[in-house]
Structure 1
Amino acid sequence: MARVAIPLFLVATVALANAPSSSLRPVSREDVFPPALPSLAPETSVRPVLRPAKVTAGAKAPVKAPAAETAAATAATASTARAAVAPARDAEPIVAARRKGAADAGIGKVCKDRKLQGAEVGSVPGKLSGCGIRKGAIKLYSVSGVALSTPAVMECDTAKALKKWVDGGMDKAVGRYGGGVVKIRVAAGYSCRTRNSRKGAKISEHGKGRAIDISAFELKNGNRISVLNDWGGGKKGRILKKMHKSACGPFGTVLGPNADKYHKDHFHFDIAKYGNGPYCR
């Protein structure tokens, strides 16, 4: 036992003699193996750059319009679009009529009266015996500045009677209500048929260009007075009765809802003459 202990003591003594004066610490990998490549992270993000458009020989590159001009063009386009859909209710009837095409060209004074605006038609042949207008027929678009919803073909005597009633009876009956009438809703003008379209009946005055049917009146404020809906009731009903009564005189025949079932929804005016005066119901 003593012989073995002595060598172990000698080995320990030698190890202590060779020990370093300070403890060893692990070395950083960067000190031993420096980075092989520099960092690829850029200071700012990199985005692809668009290539300039290829310009062919002789062609000019597009020039960008100034912002002010672009804004003005956009506003003009929007204004045009709004005008296209805006209602033309307040437009002059003659201007609107001229836009309907070459068939309605030449609209202006008819029957030697500037308050009657329309187009000369001349003669209108009839499909039935007794129908037609031999000469002097017109297509009427407006009366004293009041537009007709549908241009009506008639004789000049009929147009003059209508103007007399519009200027007197119609305007006075409406007064300032709703701003006055701006459009007359026409149910019928010239029409080659028998009275009330009954088989075997006499030819209607419509078939001679001597009558007009009116169903309603449109007012400046957008309201409407309707024969069918307003006859006999309230303010509008009273106005319609005044209109009906005042037409008896300028026209030879005046029919309304009280006449018969055929006239529940419109006034019938014609210039037929009777020996004992106008016929009004």
Structure 2
Amino acid sequence: MIRWAGIVVLLLTSVAQANAPASSRRPVAREDVFPAALPSLAPERSLRPKKRSYAVQRRAQMAGAATTAVVATPKQTAPKPAAQPQMNSARSAVAPARDAEPIVSARRKGTKDSGIGKVCKDRKLKGAKVGKVPGKLNGCGIKKGAIKLYSVSGVTLSQPVVMECDTAKALKKWVEGGMDKSVGRYGGGVVELKVAAGYSCRTRNSRPGAKISEHGKGRAIDISGFELKNGNTISVLNDWSRGKKGRILKKMHKEACGPFGTVLGPKADRYHKDHFHFDVAKHRGGSYCR
């Protein structure tokens, strides 16, 4: 019996070995089954309550102030400046109004002509005192009492002119009489004299060897045109023989004979086609007008 039992056990063992699997059934490692880590369930931010607001409230309570007043009071900030209206670049480049005070720019402190006011003891003559003007040529210059004239009887000069007081007074007499009388209400009247020349140390018509011009003595002024209140212009060169403007110019030229010793215009010579020349030179037969 014992012998047969041993034979049975041996046969069963052989069968078990024949049916055994080719590979081991050992459990696979966990990382091989789940290649990616499982997502964490922890929150990204700490859920721990902030203590700053509680500390603020505690300090407020210790100071005897209401907790809500401390917490609700917003942080004070500087007020924002009011928004400035944006201007069109084209409009910002527009020049100031033409009818502005004619001599305001020269009143700026520190400028050479800051002493503008009444000159030649006449409140209608606005300018600055210059004093003596030395001449570069023999016969030129102003010995004393020279002024720089900016406006006369409310009419602006397009550029300030250095001259003697006698010349300024003659100009005022003509502006208030002959010029205003000639223009009348046309275009609202003259607001500016277009100055072509004032003091200039040179010979007559700048010709070599000629006598010193009255311009070189501060006794003359050249005027090329007149700006009217409505913005129009009367030009000696363009309007001398044209319609109403031409008639006004010829009347102005005629009315200057008397206040000035010499009056020259487009009919005088080729040097005066584009302007009036006025000076206070004295002639034996009275005023010389051409």
Listed one character per residue, the Cα deviations across residues 202-230 of structure 1 (whole Å, up to 9, x for unaligned) are 00000000000000100111100000000
Separation in 2, partners of 1:123, 1:84 = 40
Shift of 1:87: 2.7
Contact 1:148 / 1:186 at 8 angstroms: preserved in 2? yes
- State the match for 1:90 in structure 2: 99
1:134 counterpart = 2:172: no
Give SS of 2:193's match: strand
What CA deviation, in whole Å up to 9, does each residue of 1:74-120 have, x standing for no partner? Answer: 13x749x9677343310111223324961111000000000000000
Please say if 1:247 is aligned against 2:256. Answer: yes
Instruction: Report the CA distance between 1:143 and its aligned residue.
Output: 0.3
TM norm structure 2: 0.70
Structure 1 match to 2:278: 269
Q: Which residue of 1 aligns with 2:128?
A: 119
Paired letter, 1:169: G
Distance 1:90 1:100, change over 3 A: farther
Distance 1:117 1:199, change over 3 A: same
Structure 1: which amino acid aligns with 2:104?
Answer: V
Identity of aligned residues (%): 80
Q: Within 1, Cα distance between the matches of 2:104 and 2:246?
A: 33
**1:199 matches 2:208:** yes
| Residues 100 and 238 (structure 1), Cα distance of their counterparts in 2 relative to 1, 3 Å cut | farther
**Residue 168 of structure 2 corresponds to which residue in structure 1?**
159
Return the alpha-carbon distance in structure 1 between the equivalents of residues 95 and 136 of structure 2. 41
Q: Distance in 2 between matches of 1:62 and 1:88?
A: 41
Taking structure 1 as the reference length, the TM-score comes to 0.73
Give 1:160 shift.
Answer: 0.1
C-alpha contact 1:173 1:243 (8 A) present in aligned 2: yes
Query: How many corresponding residue pairs?
Result: 217
The equivalent of 2:84 in structure 1 is 74
Match for 2:245 among 216, 236, 240? 236
- What runs of 5+ residues in structure 1 fail to find an aligned partner? 1-36, 38-59
Q: Which has the larger radius of gyration?
A: 2
Deviation at 1:146, TM superposition (A): 0.4
State the partner residue of 1:174: 183
* Alignment correspondent of 2:21: none
Amino acid aligned to 2:145: G
The 1-side partners of 2:196 and 2:110 are apart by 23
Partners of 1:151 and 1:277 lie apart in 2 by: 29
Q: Provide the rounded CA distance (Å) in 2 between the counterparts of 1:180 and 1:257.
A: 23
Structure 2 counterpart of 1:31: none
The superposition leaves residues 221-260 of structure 1 with CA deviations (integer Å, 9 ceiling, x where unpaired) of 1100000000011010000001000000000000000000
- 1:189 aligns to 2:219 (yes or no): no
Aligned-residue CA RMSD (Å): 2.3
Q: 8 Å contact 1:194–1:203 — kept in the other structure?
A: yes
Post-superposition offset of 1:150: 0.5
Are the structure 2 counterparts of residues 136 and 99 from structure 1 closer, same or farther at C-alpha, using a change threshold of 3 Å? Answer: same
The code of the aligned residue for 2:283 comes to: Y
Q: Distance in 2 between matches of 1:272 and 1:193?
A: 16
When residues 245 and 107 of structure 1 are mapped into structure 2, their CA distance, relative to the original with a 3 A threshold, is same
Q: After superposition, where does 1:92-107 map in structure 2 within 5 Å?
A: 92-99=101-108, 102-107=111-116
Partner of 1:144 in structure 2?
153
Residue type at the aligned position of 1:85: V
**Distance of 2:278 and 2:95 partners within structure 1:** 34
Spell out, residue by residue over 1:158-184, the C-alpha distance to the aligned partner (whole angstroms, 9 max, x if none).
000000000000011111111111100
Q: Alpha-carbon deviation of 1:134?
A: 0.2
Secondary structure in structure 2 of the residue aligned to 1:228: helix
